[in-house]
Chain A
């Protein structure tokens, strides 16, 4: 039946197809004038249909939350640590010490590094390469977020790149190291905060007497023309999207790769 229905479709690449004739021309003609945003896709995504995008961000947030809710194991953490042998590496000599007595306390020391129970030796090359790459990836991510107005990019893409750079750390080092850089608590706060930034910008517009997400309302506070305010509004919400996507990626990775234990990654 679906195949039969395809007979009624407009021609492939037909410039006169209804999809290109109804709202699309208006977007193309007016988007720059009204939102001061050269990238029409961004204007449609984050201004005309901004309400949709806010909920897309909320979908990402709920996915991370669902993952945390279903997988994270919190209560058994202490017991497990007591049951298992602990491994420490003496950094100067590269010697590995195994501690079997659960009660024995090992002080935090700059010379000792705790290892995962199923620790495998890591490649120095991979680690060094990733350490060099990570800052550049992050810089690029920020560029993608900030430059969404002018070139392909925006909050979702930038957030994913940012999250991926941190996951790279987890892959090349280990989950423990990366969880030290991105503590669970911080990510847990940042993920809803991203949605909060988005919805908060919308709520500010309401406070300024306009409709929800009508960024033109911010013109007075920002001291710019309404069009420029729309452009800035898009940037604000894109930052919110990026924060949410980055934090959610890390939450999902940490929970999925360690089955909720946050001890042993991939």
Chain B
């Protein structure tokens, strides 16, 4: 059906409005409506991806107006898998965190669902749109709802959210300013149209300024070190429900936006030949990877550790995108998809563990393999993927990134990747060591005959395993993902 791209974005929006109304009239309807909205969105994203496989790139004209007069959604090999990943991850995390939301938010739970759905609408819209200004509008939606979602959490959450708000607004304004400059110089906002009009202006300083402004804005929102200051606080103090939705998706969508700006709006011809920033950016990315890993190593709390892993992963993808060869680009795109799954799995596991203890400090994790075997099992899978152990999906994207770094002759980035993988090994094995030994000195070995299994709620564990199974599935099928989507996207 031709309307899939519209359903993809409109279903969560309509569902959000219905929930907000239903909240005042019939509360029990709210969660089913939310699942229905995101479910429709996920199915539509599958439909969109199937159509891309058969027809390649296609356009959906909003209001029937041809771009550049109107706004069109452009779906191609690059964003179709991202759409599937985002809508799928959002659905999984909604189902997983229902109990957490109902417990923490009480009467305000429907509002929380509405905010979640609006945030997802914004992310999906940013991924699908072919219009540079429309992207900003959707960025606003997902940002505003993101600030509200991160503000609910522990005592420090509002403060962390305020910082996120200030920095995020600066980032969004930079992007808007860049788009404004582009409009002034070309007279259009449509991405495809911009890429036709820009080559004549490649020498212009204003275009260069626009490119830099847009990049800085995106990097701020994507939390590339040293612009990451908002992320650790916002994602570690927020409610687990918000962290499970935002941490896997928001930074990844911004990385996608960066790729879109580099590949479609400005072409690789401009990014890598006209201006030569790649040396600097790859160095920055290497520093981000190393710094993120080191800061993760310094944490004594599982959740804060995970947050810094996200910071390091952003460095992986930015570095891959700027190495400037096909292999590295393949690695960056594949890593984007993998990272959605890995981060989702990691944060869901943390939410599952946190439901049974006060804080996720390492000292509280003792003996968890026996009391929460299912959650810990999924966490192991997620950790394997983050470290890069085959057959988990993280291995394959890391492999492409490493090969790309060698091809480009950037051994500093190579070293940073290997260093970060080693640190990840240390991080997770330290964690597993804590969790494996009960640390209970009163019992000798063999004395604990019956250890009570005290798992997280079923919906959470099931969703967690769905994410873990996704990690394995994407690992097994990464060859066909690369051949069917990423290679044609880079043609």
Contact = CB atoms under 8 A, between A and B. Distances in A.
Residue of B64, B122, B131, B184 with most chain A CB atoms under a 10 A cut-off: B64
Contact of A55 (B112, B141, B184): B141
Contacts of B23: 188
Given A62-B145, A66-B147, A196-B21, A212 B70 contact: no
B411 interface: no
A10 B183 CA distance: 11
B206 A211 contact: no
B16 interface: yes
Interface stretch (B113-121, B264-272, B381-389): B113-121
A74 B106 CA distance: 10
B30 to A, nearest CB: 12
A212 B6 contact: yes
Contacts of A17: 184, 187
A106 interface: no
A19 B187 contact: yes
A74 B184 contact: no
B335 to A, nearest CB: 29
Residue of A23, A27, A50 with most chain B CB atoms under a 10 A cut-off: A23
A202 B17 CA distance: 14
Nearest to B25: A189
A199 B11 CA distance: 10
Interface stretch (A97-105, A113-121, A168-176, A213-221): A213-221
B18 A192 contact: yes
Residue of B13, B14, B115, B134 with most chain A CB atoms under a 10 A cut-off: B13
Contacts of B68: 22-23
A20 B184 CA distance: 9
Contact of A52 (B16, B134, B158, B208): B134
A61 B24 CA distance: 16
Residue of B19, B125, B144 with most chain A CB atoms under a 10 A cut-off: B144
B214 to A, nearest CB: 13
Interface residues of A, number: 60
Contact of A19 (B19, B131, B158, B183): B183
Interface in A1-38: 1-2, 4-10, 17-24, 26-27
Contacts of B20: 61, 65, 188-189, 191-192
B63 A48 contact: yes
B204 to A, nearest CB: 5
A10 B69 contact: no
Contact of B16 (A5, A10, A75, A192): A192
Given A19-B183, A69-B112, A188 B141 contact: no
- Count class of interface residues, chain B: 35 or more
A195 B17 contact: yes
A51 B136 CA distance: 13
Given A7-B205, A214-B63, A58 B121 contact: yes
A211 B6 contact: yes
A202 B64 contact: no
Interface in A173-199: 185, 188-189, 191-193, 195-196, 199
A4 B205 contact: yes
Nearest to A217: B64
A10 B3 CA distance: 40
B62 A211 contact: yes
Contacts of B3: 206, 211-212
Contact of B63 (A18, A19, A27, A51): A51
A142 interface: no
A203 interface: yes
B14 A196 contact: yes
A18 B204 CA distance: 14
Interface string B169-189: 000000000000101111110
Contacts of A72: 108
B155 to A, nearest CB: 14
Contact of B24 (A62, A189, A210): A189
Contacts, number: 179
A183 to B, nearest CB: 10
A231 to B, nearest CB: 13
Residue of A5, A68, A199, A200 with most chain B CB atoms under a 10 A cut-off: A5
Interface string A48-83: 111110011011011101101110101100000000
Nearest to B140: A59
B144 A59 contact: yes
Interface in B1-39: 3, 6, 10, 13-14, 16-21, 23-25
B329 interface: no
A69 B6 contact: no
A18 B183 CA distance: 8
Nearest to A51: B62
Contact of A206 (B6, B138, B183, B204): B6
Contacts of B333: none
Contacts of B207: 8
A8 B204 contact: yes
Nearest to A185: B24
A238 interface: no
B187 A20 contact: yes
A32 to B, nearest CB: 14
A62 B115 contact: yes
27 contacts: A1-B212, A9-B185, A10-B184, A27-B69, A47-B65, A50-B63, A52-B137, A58-B13, A59-B144, A61-B17, A63-B144, A65-B20, A65-B118, A66-B115, A70-B158, A74-B108, A75-B106, A75-B107, A195-B13, A196-B17, A199-B10, A199-B14, A203-B10, A211-B62, A212-B3, A213-B62, A213-B63
Given A55-B125, A215-B63, 12 more contacts: A5-B208, A18-B187, A21-B187, A48-B69, A51-B70, A59-B144, A62-B145, A65-B118, A185-B24, A199-B10, A211-B64, A212-B63
Interface of B: 3, 6, 10, 13-14, 16-21, 23-25, 60-65, 68-71, 106-108, 111-112, 114-115, 118, 121-122, 125, 131, 133-134, 137-138, 140-141, 144-145, 147-148, 151-152, 158, 181, 183-188, 197, 204-210, 212
In the A-B complex, list the 8 residue pairs whose CB atoms are closest, starting with the nearest: A22-B187, A66-B148, A5-B209, A192-B20, A214-B64, A8-B206, A51-B62, A192-B17
Interface of A: 1-2, 4-10, 17-24, 26-27, 47-52, 55-56, 58-59, 61-63, 65-66, 68-70, 72, 74-75, 185, 188-189, 191-193, 195-196, 199-200, 202-203, 206, 210-216
